[in-house]
């Protein structure tokens, strides 16, 4: 009587199944659904998007940049951020070190395309670079703004 190799309810394989599940959760591959413009975890730079009643605010975590060299474009509701990062340049003007022990930081060209929610006005964009975070504020179209409704006492 031969049992099949991959009987996952066999106690011998239980741990492998658990490990596979943990790895899937870790790499987000368990759910085969994703935005077509989505990126793998750990992509540089990380992006957060938030909103207030009046604006949509995008935070791009890109330290060590020269803000003048970041290319920011907006078309309808697509925001594109692209730039070149050269981490060796951040060493400064002192003589170049002879060797390195670690190089974990991202260096090179990056490009992020961010889907903004419907209702943003591409003519109302403001961008600031604060402590290594690019903060882009996009105003919502007038009719999209949250409206406070007065409750009258009748």
What contacts 20, CB < 8 A, 6 or more positions away? none
Beta carbon nearer to another protein, 98 or 123: 98
Burial category of 98 from C-beta neighbours within 10 Å (exposed 0-12, middle 13-18, buried 19 and up)? exposed
Residue 68 touching another protein (CB under 8 A): no
Interaction between residue 91 and another protein (CB under 8 A): yes
Name the nearest CA neighbour of 144 among 124, 120, 125: 120
Query: Contacting another protein (CB under 8 A), which of 11, 31, 93, 101?
Result: 101
Q: Distance between CA 129 and CA 67 in Å, rounded?
A: 6
| 63 binds another protein, rule: CB under 8 A | yes
- Ramachandran region, residue 25 (left: φ > 0; alpha: ψ -120 to 50; beta: rest): alpha
Asked if residue 83 lies in contact with residue 110, where contact means CB atoms within 8 angstroms, the answer is yes
With respect to another protein, which residue has the nearer C-beta, 14 or 128?
128
147 touches another protein (CB under 8 A)? no
Q: Candidates 3-11, 12-20, 74-82, 88-96 — which segment interacts with another protein by CB under 8 A? A: 88-96
- Tokens 């077509």 identify what position? 36
Chain residues 8-37 in contact with another protein, contact rule CB under 8 A: none
Residue pair 136/58 in contact by the 8 Å Cβ criterion: yes
Q: Which stretch binds another protein (CB under 8 A): 2-10, 12-20, 71-79, 99-107?
A: 99-107
Q: To the nearest whole angstrom, how small is the minimum distance from the Cβ of residue 2 to another protein?
A: 39
Is residue 104 close enough to count as binding another protein by CB under 8 A? yes
The pair of three-digit structure tokens given for residue 42, joined into one six-digit string: 């750990």
Where on the chain is the footprint of another protein (CB under 8 A)?
41, 43, 45-53, 56-57, 59, 61-65, 87, 90-92, 94-106, 117, 129-133, 135
């Amino acid at each position: 009587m031969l049992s099949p190799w991959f009987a996952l309810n066999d106690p011998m394989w239980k741990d492998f199944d658990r490990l596979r599940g943990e790895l899937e959760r870790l790499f987000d591959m368990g759910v085969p659904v994703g935005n077509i413009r989505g990126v793998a975890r750990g992509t540089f730079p990380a992006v957060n998007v938030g909103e207030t009643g009046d604006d949509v605010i995008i935070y791009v975590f890109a330290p060590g940049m020269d803000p003048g060299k970041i290319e920011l474009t907006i078309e309808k509701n697509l925001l594109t951020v692209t730039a070149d990062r050269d981490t060796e340049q951040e060493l400064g003007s002192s003589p170049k070190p002879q060797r390195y022990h670690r190089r974990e930081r991202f260096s090179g060209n990056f490009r992020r395309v961010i889907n903004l929610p419907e209702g943003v006005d591409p003519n109302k964009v403001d961008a600031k670079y604060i402590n290594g975070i690019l903060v882009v504020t996009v105003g919502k179209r007038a009719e999209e703004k949250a409206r406070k409704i007065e409750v009258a006492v009748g």
